[in-house]
Every structure is written in C-alpha cells, then in structure tokens.
Amino acid sequence: MFKEELNILNKEFDSDFSSFLSKKESVDKAIISSVSEIIVDVSSRGDVALREITQKLDNYLLEDFFISEDEINTSFGRINKEVIAALEFSFKNIMEFHSKCRDSLNLIPIDSEVSRLFKPIKSALLYVPGGKASYPSSVLMAAGPAIASQVRDLYLTTPFTGGHINDLTIAAAKVAGINNIAKLGGAQAIAAFSFGTESIPKVDKVVGPGNAYVAEAKRQLFGTVGIDSIAGPSEIVILANSTSSPEIVAWDLMAQAEHDEDASSILICSSEEVIKEIKEIIDKELPNLDRASIIKSSLEKNGLTIKIDNLEQSIKIINRFAPEHLHLAFNNNEIDTKDLIAGIILEGQDSAVSLSDYVLGPSHILPTNTSSRFSSPLSVEDFMVSSTKVSLKTKANKGLYNELIDQASVIARAEGLTAHAISVEKRKKY
C-alpha cells in the first residue's frame, strides 16, 4: 500500500530517505516550461489569452470574468442551512483568532523614540483550488486573516471548470463577505492578478494553496507580486509510538491521502506492531470510502512508513521533511516541540488535523514541501506591511543624542560616505 517502508537500522536508510525526499522536492521540467509560457502569454495578451487558456484547460469560453451578485445569491440558496451554520461557526472562530493576532501588531514600542508601525496592504487575491474537491474551508481560512488585517480590496478566484464553480465555495465567500469572485484557475489566474489585464485588477499579494501549476506560478511570479508561500500538495507526518491508537492514526493518514493523488502521508513509528495494525486497518477500511481510488493512489505514490527505535531519532527525520502538518499521536511529553520544524504541530491524540482544517481558528493554509524551514502559516502578518517609526527628541537627552551622532559619523567616514557623516554632525548646532 505505501510507496516505501524504511527502517532506520538499515544501512541503506540514509540514501533511501534522501532519494524519497529528492523525488518529492523536484519540480517537473514540463510544468516549469508550461507555466512560464502561460505567464508570458497572459502578460502580453491579457484577456484574450485568459479566454483561450480557460477554454483549452477548463473546457469553457469565458464571457464575464466575475460571478454576478445574482449567481452568488443563487448558489448560497442551494446550500443546506446546517452547512451554512457550520461555515459561520468556523468563520467566527477564525475571525476571533486573527483579530487577536492583529491587535497584537498595533504600534509596538521598541522604546520611546523607535517603534514599528503595521498597516494593511491595499489589495489581495485569495486563490481557492477547484480540482477533485470543493474547499469552502480554504475560502474562510484565507479570508479571515485578510479581513482581520483590514485589506481594502479582496478578490477570490477559483477554477471555472466546465462552466461551473462549486456552490459551497461561493457560499463560503458570501459568509466571509467577499463579492469579487473570479472564474479563473491555475497558473493563468495567478498571472492575471499579478500583472493585471483589461478586466482583472493587479493586486499587491497572492495567497492560497493550489496544485503544482499554481505553486510553480507563484514561484515564478514572486517579486512581481507578493506571495505568501509555495503551498503545493498537502502533506502530513505522523509520529507514533506503542501508546498511539492504530485506528486514529490509520484514519488520519487516509484523511490526508484523500486530498488528491499528490498528497503525502508519512508515518514515523517506534513500534513495529503499531505499524502493522495501522496497515491492516487501512486495508480493511479503504474499499468502503468514497475516495478510495484517490487514497490508494496517494499512498502508493507518496506514502511512506519509517520504523525507528526511539522517538529521539525522529527529530532529524521530521526536520528534514519540515512538513506542512506534524501530528504527535501520543499524550506523553517525550518530544520537545521547540526542536521540531513544521507548519502546524498537533500535540496529543485529541489534536486532530481535521479540527485544525476546519474550526479551530488558525489558518490551515500552511507551507509545504520542506518550506516550513523558512515560511509560516498564513496569518495577519501576510496582509500587513510594517514601517519603522523614528521620533527622536534630542532635548530629552542631549548627551545620548550627541553620542549617536559621533558613532554614526565614525562609521559613515569609514565607509567613505562623507556627506552622511556631515549630515549628522551638522545637527550638533541645533
């Protein structure tokens, strides 16, 4: 079932593990080339290119690029009230969490004269995947920190495959108060909002997860537009031991794998018996699931088990993955989470990934493909820019002010920047 089953005691472990990672981290050259062509085409031909690409890839000829208010209300009306209530519950928790985060970023004094001032960016695009499932949760998880940050102009885009957008996606946008919903997906959507076209506005930042083409487009367009992180196919590493519930772990692995065939489900475990039980449960339960074929393909393509002797051995392995989700599937405190690198760390059996996906509050839009080493979960900081504010009051401490001048002058003259030195030295007169 799993693509590979490794044991840390095997002589070949390091090379086999490195090989697995290199395959996972590599980007198909064909994808790089295809995305590059799309970006160039959209930047040069604008709306015409968007219509042609959408017809070719999504099998639909676009007339209007945005969904009308009537279409939004119609989609919303088709959704079960219980589902709407759940989306509203989720969004309330998301807004509460990110509003508290935003409040903590108000004027932060470093001392009385130097501080940091945070302010929202003016515009942002929230990308929501279409593909093999609808993701209304991703709408809420992207919208929450953006709205809490007080971004003025918010746009949402999602694939219009075959002339259809999932009603749940549109309903979630309405719950979040987003009315600007574009009918574009893939690399062409990222390019359109990065450059702007006749009908599509240029935004300051693009955020949200997507497939390999979306991830590559974000990679190539970084610098042209702000990018949150390169969030590609979803992934989880579960660390288990003899106290872990094989049933819980098995279902968490399958839950991750059902995203799509490119999702990664990794099990690191110190108990051979637990690994065996987990595999038996998956074999038994998988045929009964709606997305059995996707789960099976995902595990066979990207699934991995690693047998370790003790939990301490897992730290280096986990940090080489630097995974999107890390679940410590036991209730003892054998691992110090400060030593671990991951987008989200779920500690203890009760801390289900699926709860964090939907209702806890923090965004589930997380860095993937080892980028947790240098990227963070989507948050209010992604929709803010900061300025350093300097307000020196020399009368308060003339001696200290003169010392600042003297030392700055020394450094400036050492760099050969004489005007810099003189510009501060002149201030001693005032």
Q: pLDDT tens digit string along 143-158?
A: 999 999 999 999 999 9
Helix, strand, or coil here: 227? strand
In angstroms, the CA 72 to CA 115 distance is 43
In angstroms, the CA 220 to CA 35 distance is 8
Comparing 100-109, 296-305, 400-409, which segment has the lowest mean pLDDT? Answer: 100-109
For 22-90, give the secondary structure using H, E and C.
HHHHCCCHHHHHHHHHHHHHHHHHCHHHHHHHHHHHHCCCCCCCECCHHHHHHHHHCCCHHHHHHHHHH
Instruction: State yes or no: pLDDT of 226 exceeds 70.
Output: yes
CA dihedral sign of residues 311, 313, 319, 325:
negative
pLDDT on residue 235: 93
Comparing 2-16, 146-160, 303-317, 385-399, which segment has the lowest mean pLDDT? Answer: 385-399
Element (H, E) at 226: strand 226-227
Task: Please say whether the beta carbons of 177 and 144 come within 8 A.
Answer: no
pLDDT on residue 395: 67
Q: What band does 113 get if pLDDT is binned at 50, 70 and 90?
A: confident
Q: Collect all residues with Cβ–Cβ distance below 8 Å to 135 and sequence separation of at least 6.
A: 128, 129, 169
* Residue 40 amino acid letter: V
Instruction: State yes or no: pLDDT of 363 exceeds 70.
Output: yes
| Pairing outcome for strands 123-127 and 205-207 | parallel
Element (H, E) at 345: strand 344-347
pLDDT on residue 108: 53
In angstroms, the CA 73 to CA 76 distance is 5
* 134 vs 194 pLDDT, higher one: 194
**What does each C-alpha distance from 302 to 85, 91, 176, 260 come to in angstroms?**
35, 32, 34, 11
pLDDT on residue 105: 77
Which of 307-311, 329-333, 426-430 is most confident?
Answer: 307-311
Helices (runs of H) and strands (runs of E) counted in the chain: 16, 14
- pLDDT digits 0-9 by tens, 229-268: 887 788 999 999 999 999 999 999 999 999 889 899 999 9
Task: Please say whether the beta carbons of 234 and 259 come within 8 A.
Answer: yes
pLDDT on residue 134: 75
Q: Collect all residues with Cβ–Cβ distance below 8 Å to 376 and sequence separation of at least 6.
A: 229, 343, 367
Task: Please say whether the beta carbons of 326 and 48 come within 8 A.
Answer: no
pTM for this model (two decimals): 0.89
pLDDT on residue 376: 92
pLDDT on residue 385: 92
Task: Take residue 424 and report the two structure tokens written for it.
Answer: 């501060």
Question: Closest Cα partner for 133 from 162, 166, 88, 181?
Answer: 166
Q: What is the CA radius of gyration of the chain?
A: 25
Q: Where are the beta strands (DSSP E) in 108-199?
A: 108-109, 114-120, 123-127, 153-157, 181-182
Task: Please say whether the beta carbons of 324 and 366 come within 8 A.
Answer: yes
Instruction: State yes or no: pLDDT of 397 exceeds 90.
Output: no
Rounded to an integer, the average pLDDT of 71-85 is 95
Q: What band does 109 get if pLDDT is binned at 50, 70 and 90?
A: low
Taking the mean position of all CA atoms in its chain, how far away is CA 92? 20
In angstroms, the CA 4 to CA 307 distance is 11
- pLDDT digits 0-9 by tens, 5-64: 899 989 889 888 888 888 766 678 899 999 999 999 999 999 999 999 999 998 888 989
In the chain, what percentage of residues exceed pLDDT 90?
73
Average model confidence (pLDDT) across the chain:
92
Q: Which residue has the tokens 């047998």?
A: 307
Q: Residue 131 — left, alpha, or beta (φ > 0 → left; ψ -120 to 50 → alpha)?
A: left
pLDDT on residue 393: 77
Instruction: State yes or no: pLDDT of 197 exceeds 60.
Output: yes
Q: What band does 131 get if pLDDT is binned at 50, 70 and 90?
A: low
Looking at the DSSP assignment, which residues form a beta bridge with residue 304? Answer: 4, 266
Looking at the DSSP assignment, which residues form a beta bridge with residue 117? Answer: 387
Residues annotated catalytic, as ranges? 324-325
